[in-house]
Structure 1
Amino acid sequence: MTKNASTGPSVTRRSLLTGTAQALGTAALLSAARAVVPGGVWAATADAPETTKAIFGFIALTDSAPLIIAKEKGLFAKYGLKDADVQKQASWGTTRDNIELGSANGGIDGAHILTPMPYLISTGKVTKNNQKLPMYILARLNTNGQCISVSNRYKAAGVTTDAKSLKAAFADMKKAGKEVKCAMTFPGGTHDMWIRYWLAANGVDPDKDVSTIVVPPPQMVANMKVDTMEAFCVGEPWNAQLVAQNIGFTALTTGELWANHPEKALGMRADWVDRNPKAAKAVLMAVQEAAMWCDKPENKAEMCQILAKREWFKVPVEDILTRAQGTIDYGTGRVVKDSPHIMKYWADHASYPFKSHDAWFLTENVRWGYQPAGLDVKATVDAVNREDLWREAAKTLGVAADQMPAGTSRGKETFFDGKVFDPDNPSTYLASLDIRRV
């Protein structure tokens, strides 16, 4: 394990002195100068975190890498969080429960989390007694990198993004008395949204034509092996493992559904962030630096070796490495090298939490009844999305202004079926969808 390794933009003593002298004054200047010491340890008195401890949850998915690398490479400690911990969660439901508890009660302060979950928790849609628990999204952890996998029985039908043949096949199965199940990882979460979008775009109603069931990511392959589902949506390494075991195949990567789509987020309890603003900034700097490290091609092999360890994923490194490097074996004879849909952690603003992306998730949650039809999407996003904190941390880390997004919206987004989401007019997008609950 390499402790206190510098993996992100360098900040020199000279740049700190010259860049801040006029504005900060003598006392603050000396404090800034102390920020860089041998070993790169973040030690500025003015910036010292209010606490050295933060507890995060993670699910065994490749997109948790920035949190795990921040721990393994000593980046949390580098920025003053020497007691930060990253703890494995059994399911997204467990993650929610432990966030509700908070670390003071044996739970966690934040997590590698499905992007819609902080909204579902903040609005009390998935909490005990529907109690609202304010959360913040501090960063995106990745874009792309999920897949929809299908049972081998549909291989001959050539199921891809085009899966219109499934409607008749599923109808025949129901007539024969078999329940048709498609699995995702949490109601209203990203995987639920991807598989629902794909099914609906192909004429399959995800509530009427099939049963959408919840299965924790590490249990997806085992469940398909015993033939309890027809399809599932999850992140890696479980899709690759399914292909390796010849149980099913990859119909599509979710990047084919929506190019460079947002996926997981770094979510934290709002009360923890509000109570510990400097510690929250330290968390962000550690995770941002880890994201930069994870995105470098020369680090992929080491990243996957770390993730494969018993304390993290406990899987063969080969199940993670190939797709992490951009080679997708779909299990159908189709192999794509240098896939444009490779998982990204930092490149192309992957770490930045665009508010427009959160608006899409909320609109889809409204579509399927997870959020009320009258939800004020903009106000809800503004309450949860803290892209301002991301920018502040990135600036301190040394990320140049021209490397940050110009605004909080990535603009209009186009999906594989030609539908367009305009974040300034979500109601028009919602009305354009044929299958919906509202």
Structure 2
Amino acid sequence: MSETIETKAKAKAKAGGTRIGGIGRRQLLQLSGAAALLAAARLALPSGAFAQGAGPEVKGTRLGYIALTDAAPLVIAKEKGLFAKYGLPDMDIAKQASWGATRDNMALGFKANGIDGGHILRPKTHLYATGKVMQNGQKLPMYTLLNLNEDSQGISVSNEYKDLDVRKDASALKQAFERKRAAGKELTAAMTFPGGTHDLWLRYWLAAGGIDPDSDIKLITVPPPQMVANMKVGAMDCFCVGDPWHEQLVNQKIGYTALTTGELWFRHPEKILGMRADFVDANPRATQAILMAVMEAQIWAEKLENKQELAEIVGRRQWFNVPVADIVGRLRGDINYGNGREAKGTNLLMKFWGEGGSASYPWKSLDTWFVAENIRWGKFEPTLDIKALVDQTNRADLWREAAKTLGVAGAPTGDSRGVETFFDGVKFDPAAPLDYLKALKIKRVA
């Protein structure tokens, strides 16, 4: 619509007659058909809704989250009124008890009192879509819409190993584990969901140190908010989870952080906004509204001057119910590892947006690593068509559409971030994932 037509519509809106969006019917009829309707729509609808044409198909749905700092964009989008800004005033952001509960509620869907999407571990999209972790192997078509964050998970160990001062090199634990096992004691490592990000970080770290995560130690599943309590009663030797639980562990002097996962793989992807494919397919405008609200929240959360307020908001009882002191330090890149080691102002802080949205963009190459790594540990068959699964589940196209509407400058446009390098020097070329698997020493696949 031309600026002249819009100006004319507003100028004549003061004339009499029945009014539509501030324009009199007589004046509306004087304008050319399509242009007149667009003028009326622009004045009648809020800018966010107008940006999506007719506005979202629904006023909201329910998204789940776990009490982890990387759920912050969903919380902020709700608290700051961003969902409402884009025409979704009835969005419900609902706490989930565990990743298992998240899976079960995702299978139900909002119409059956479950959830249509939310804050999930990135590989869950692939695990749900293939039915690998679903009841009776029932496949649940899912889409990865955006990456909620990079970095800021961690691996912590019990004070039982305080004298070893374990860091990136897990081999320091190998002999200690062997002695403990020889004494008839059980070795236990905890993660949050089989095949999920924390499981894969823990497995990678142990294997790099020569410890087989399937035969040298028992891996158990523990919900994130219960990690510290279980370490306190001596139920585990080490665990991998996201923040704020490492800081809480250190503050309670129960154990110490060996490394943050950004030290294992710098700028690694972590949680995503994942949604049921049936919701996305049936509600394309609502999906765009959800994307834009969450992306705007990520932009806000990325700013250093907002970290204190961010910690205060998510720490509230209705969200995480965690002291701000357990959250804010690592949000700023201040890592208190415990065991007398601290680092201030590091680049290991949680990244929500990145340059041009690079931390939010769902790179297909990164999905490729997660699928390959789950092949490594036997979750998927080695004959799986990795590319087909990634193409089926990754909707980077929807992210790009939302970024264009938001006017994001320098937004990513491709599928690959290129070759990735891990802390132990191992490289992953997303164009040759099977070569990566062949080069690994400890694995479940030939």
Scaled by the length of structure 1, the TM-score of the pair is 0.92
The within-5 A match list for 1:125-136 is 125-136=132-143
In the alignment, is residue 389 of structure 1 matched against residue 402 of structure 2?
Answer: no
Of 354, 372, 379, 1:370 maps to: 379
Q: Does 1:289 align with 2:282?
A: no
Contact 2:49 2:56 in 1 (8 A): no
CA pair 197-46 structure 1, distance change in 2 beyond 3 A: same
8 Å contact kept, 1:59–1:89: yes
1:3 aligned partner: none
Q: How many angstroms apart in 2 are the aligned matches of 1:335 and 1:295?
A: 23
DSSP 3-state at the match of 2:146 = strand
SS of the counterpart of 2:388?
Answer: helix
- Counterpart amino acid of 2:202? I
Contact 1:35 1:42 in 2 (8 A): no
The counterpart of 2:346, out of the listed 333, 339, 343, is 339
Q: CA deviation at 1:87?
A: 0.2
Secondary structure class of the residue paired with 1:365: helix
Residue in 2 aligned with 1:352?
Answer: 361
Q: Distance in 2 between matches of 1:49 and 1:127?
A: 30
Secondary structure of the structure 2 residue equivalent to 1:183: strand
Q: Which residue of the partner structure matches residue 315 of structure 1? A: 322
Is 1:80–2:71 an aligned residue pair? no
Deviation at 1:157, TM superposition (A): 1.0
CA contact (8 A) 1:34 1:43 kept: no
Q: Residue 329 and residue 44 in structure 1: after superposition, are their counterparts in 2 closer, same or farther (change >3 A)? A: closer
Rounded to whole Å, the distance in 2 between the matches of 1:412 and 1:189 is 22
Corresponding letter in the other structure for 1:152 = N
> 2:273 matched to 1:227?
no
Identity of aligned residues (%): 60
Partner SS, residue 138 of structure 1: strand
Aligned to 2:286: 279
CA deviation digits over 1:241-268, x for unaligned, max 9?
0000000001000000000000000000
1:197-219 C-alpha deviation (Å, 9 max, x unpaired): 00000000000000110000000
Deviations 1:256-288 (A, max 9, x none): 000000000000000000000000000000000
Once the two structures are TM-superposed, the CA of residue 46 in structure 1 deviates from its matched residue by 2.0
Q: What is the deviation of 1:47?
A: 3.8
Partner of 2:177: 170
Residue 130 of structure 2 is matched in structure 1 by: 123
Counterpart of 2:375 in structure 1: which amino acid? V
Superposed CA RMSD: 1.8
1:422 aligns with: 429
Letter in 2 for 1:30: A
Question: What corresponds to 2:73 in structure 1?
Answer: 66
Whole-Å separation in 1 of the counterparts to 2:55 and 2:174:
58
In the alignment, is residue 216 of structure 1 matched against residue 198 of structure 2?
Answer: no
Deviation at 1:111, TM superposition (A): 1.1
Match of 1:380 in 2: 389
Q: Aligned partners of 1:202 and 1:44: how far apart in 2? A: 52
Q: Which amino acid is 2:35 matched to?
A: T
Deviations 1:201-241 (A, max 9, x none): 00000000001100000000000000010000000000000
Letter in 1 for 2:249: L
The residue aligned with 1:245 is 252
SS of residue paired to 2:274: strand
Measured against aligned partners, the alpha-carbon deviations of 1:109-159 in whole angstroms (never above 9, x if no partner) come to 001000000110000001111011100000000000100000112121121
User: Counterpart of 1:30?
Assistant: 39
